[in-house]
Amino acid sequence: MKPPQNSSDTATPPAAIFLILGAVFLFACLDSGAKYLVLSGMQAPFVAWMRFVVHVSLVLVLFRSWNNTAMFRTSSLRMQMLRGVFLFGSTFFNFLALNTLQLAQTTSIFFFAPMVITALAGPLLGEWAGWRRWAAIGAGFAGVLVITRPGYAAFEIGHVYALCATLSYCLYVITTRHMTATESAESLIFYSALAPVVMMLPVVPFTASLPPDAFHWLVLLSLGLFGGFGHWFLINAYKQATTTALAPYPYMQMVWMIAFGFLFFAQLPDLWTIGGATIIVASGLYIVHREHRLRLQSRTAPNAEDSDLAKKL
């Protein structure tokens, strides 16, 4: 008689894989549309604001806000708004970066996020990494240096914006981890879209740049749909499978970014970008694998002392 399989041994549901692949495809469409609008002369703050206006409207409809008052309840409105600021910062700086960088470059730097989250989780959440994960973080940072090449002509302000976008996203994720114990999923999704819309209202009149024609309007309004449905796909994917099981699939976004960069902007990444991206992806996958092993060790450790020892390795 075979022993029962645990959740880590079972096959990843195909539906979860399709959902995560659909999410990264939509995120690639989001970045491509934003790059097109920014390059056409529209202001990045206004493009980012409109992306969240459509997003929050979509959330209100999808969650049937007229019958679902739970999505409006929160134990800390201040933290909800702060989390929304971090998400907006990630989007805003990313759109600024897209003005000068290729799609593949911004995505490669953004893939450094898991390593930054691991590093920040120690001082902010008390989740300290062991030396193996710190080595992976160092390798991932080396990959970023390969892409940006500071001190050479290749380094530009777009790289700074991309790094700011990555840091903002990491703070958004860490804040989310901190709040999941007290906030509902509906409220987290709703307020993360509402906060940027409300907080940016005072500066919208000074950054508004209306689209020149119907096609630009279509692209602008589609950004919120790409972002909203992308996050919805992502949430449903992680409901059906673990983070570890789905870890390799978000890196498929790089394929779409390279394809869209070539098709829409006649750009292909150079060997430095490809090499740096490879280092970052390998480091990120190792960290995900290592954290999965640590969770298994913590479950089987006979006492708290052994569990703590495992986390230091």
Q: Write out pLDDT tens, residues 32-68.
A: 999 999 999 899 899 999 999 998 998 888 888 788 8
Q: Specify the amino acid at residue 40.
A: S
The reported pLDDT for the residue numbered 308 is 43
pLDDT tops 90 at residue 141: no
Whether residue 147 contacts residue 141, with contact meaning beta carbons closer than 8 Å, is answered with no
pLDDT tens sequence across 282-307: 887 887 777 667 666 666 655 544 44
Over residues 245-263, mean pLDDT: 84
Q: Which of 176, 181, 286 is nearest to 234 (CA)?
A: 176
- pTM of the predicted model, to two decimals? 0.79
pLDDT tops 80 at residue 312: no
pLDDT tops 50 at residue 9: no
pLDDT tops 90 at residue 16: no
Q: Write the CA distances from 185 to 57, 87, 263, 306, integer angstroms.
A: 17, 16, 37, 34
Over residues 230-243, mean pLDDT: 79
Radius of gyration for the alpha carbons in the chain, expressed in angstroms and rounded: 20
pLDDT tens sequence across 255-266: 898 899 899 988
Q: How far apart are CA 286 and CA 291, in angstroms?
A: 9
pLDDT tops 50 at residue 8: no
The reported pLDDT for the residue numbered 246 is 73
The reported pLDDT for the residue numbered 3 is 43
* pLDDT more than 70, % of the chain: 84
What are the backbone angles phi and psi of residue 13, rounded to the nearest 5°?
A: -60, 130
pLDDT tens sequence across 197-224: 998 888 888 888 888 899 999 999 999 9
Residues 6+ apart with CB under 8 A from 104: 254, 257, 258, 261, 267, 269, 273, 277
Q: How far apart are CA 219 and CA 47, in angstroms?
A: 10
The reported pLDDT for the residue numbered 304 is 44
Q: Write the CA distances from 202 to 40, 85, 90, 107, 207, integer angstroms.
A: 24, 15, 20, 30, 10
The reported pLDDT for the residue numbered 168 is 92
Identify the DSSP state of 12: P
Mean confidence (pLDDT) of the chain: 81
Q: Specify the amino acid at residue 182.
A: T
